[in-house]
């Protein structure tokens, strides 16, 4: 039998702390070379696109997951629909048996935030207490929740092209997290006052520039998940210590890709993949003053780890609808 799990099921079954631990374990396995290389396929569509990510992890039981996500940034305004929609198939990687079909939007949001939290745990200053979130949609909310789970945050700045959206974000997240969240009109000023900056926007032109970032800042560049998106100025990338999730992938679709195209860095300038840092095989931050950027393009192994955690918790809790797909 195959379990059908809704977005609500996924949200209930996977608290942020559990997702962070699952994703960190996936990065460690990847860094140690104990995970099969993940795969990705992108298909452009008018006003958006689709991407398929797949991978296998041995978590005591071998799991395969394939996620199909649709990303249409105009959906909320045009149709009242989410930007990201999709489905994830989780299967037994020994027998090929479909174990679960689940909403992929919640998985994507949670594991993306969790990846930033893992990166911050290993790359941000231990004293980091102030963060700027650039992009005040769903992902911005998840990013701030995830960072609050691993850092002792005392203040956050929220920036969005829509000031009203930033103001609403600030009110909501202040109440939810119990520390001061302020709407920022000036992104440069907010970033200079922060120890951590997360960019999670659909921008196609740089929004974060080298003149805006103070020494010692940790940057999580989250939004550039295809070759057309860009958030970080190439000159800023060139001045940073660069850590990526998957080098081959970041070199073709992430902010690293744009810096390479601009001729200011090469793949040899990348310090490490995050999994290598987590596994202790390569260094993360070397000095208090260096700016470290994590180019987060989204690794399929994050999806496998998060989906497996959801499935195992669903089985124990008796959640989901069992269906026989072969009937």
Active-site residue numbers?
67
Q: Which residues are CB-neighbours of 32 under 8 A, at least 6 positions away?
A: 275, 279, 281
> 70 near 52, Cβ under 8 Å?
no
**Separation of alpha carbons 230 and 207, rounded Å:** 8
Count how many Cα atoms sit within 13 Å of the Cα of residue 217 in the half-sphere of its side chain: 27
Q: How far apart are CA 251 and CA 295, in angstroms?
A: 10
Give yes or no for a contact between 292 and 243, defined as CB atoms under 8 angstroms apart: yes
Which of these, 96, 151, 148, 94, lies nearest to 124 by C-alpha position?
A: 151
Q: How many helices (H) and strands (E) does the chain have?
A: 12, 15
C-alpha 22: how far from its chain's center? 13
């Amino acid at each position: 039998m195959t379990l059908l799990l809704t977005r609500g099921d996924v949200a209930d079954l996977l608290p942020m702390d559990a997702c962070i631990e699952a994703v960190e374990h996936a990065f460690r396995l990847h860094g140690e070379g104990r995970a099969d290389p993940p795969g990705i396929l992108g298909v452009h569509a008018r006003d958006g696109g689709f991407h398929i990510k797949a991978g296998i992890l041995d978590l005591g039981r071998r799991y395969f997951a394939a996620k199909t996500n649709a990303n249409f940034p105009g959906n909320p305004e045009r149709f009242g629909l989410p930007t990201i929609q999709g489905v994830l198939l989780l299967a037994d990687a020994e027998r090929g048996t479909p174990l679960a079909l689940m909403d992929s939007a919640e998985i994507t949001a949670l594991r993306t935030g969790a990846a930033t939290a893992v990166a911050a745990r290993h790359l941000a200053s231990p004293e980091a207490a102030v963060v700027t979130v650039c992009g005040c949609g769903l992902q911005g909310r998840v990013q701030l929740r995830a960072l609050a789970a691993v850092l002792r945050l005392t203040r956050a700045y929220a920036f969005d092209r829509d000031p009203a959206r930033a103001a609403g974000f600030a009110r909501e997240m202040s109440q939810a997290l119990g520390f001061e969240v302020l709407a920022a009109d000036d992104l440069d000023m907010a970033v200079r006052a922060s120890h951590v900056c997360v960019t999670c926007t659909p921008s196609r032109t740089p929004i974060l520039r080298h003149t805006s970032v103070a020494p010692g800042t940790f940057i999580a560049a989250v939004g550039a998940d295809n070759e057309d998106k860009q958030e970080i100025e190439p000159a800023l990338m060139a001045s940073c210590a660069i850590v990526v999730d998957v080098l081959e992938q970041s070199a073709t679709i992430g902010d690293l890709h744009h810096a390479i195209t601009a001729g200011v860095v090469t793949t040899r300038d990348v310090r490490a993949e995050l999994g290598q840092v987590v596994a202790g095989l390569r260094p993360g931050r070397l000095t208090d003053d260096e700016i470290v950027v994590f180019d987060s393009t989204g690794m399929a192994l994050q999806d496998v780890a998060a989906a497996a955690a959801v499935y195992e918790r669903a089985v124990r809790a008796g959640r989901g609808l069992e269906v026989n797909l072969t009937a």
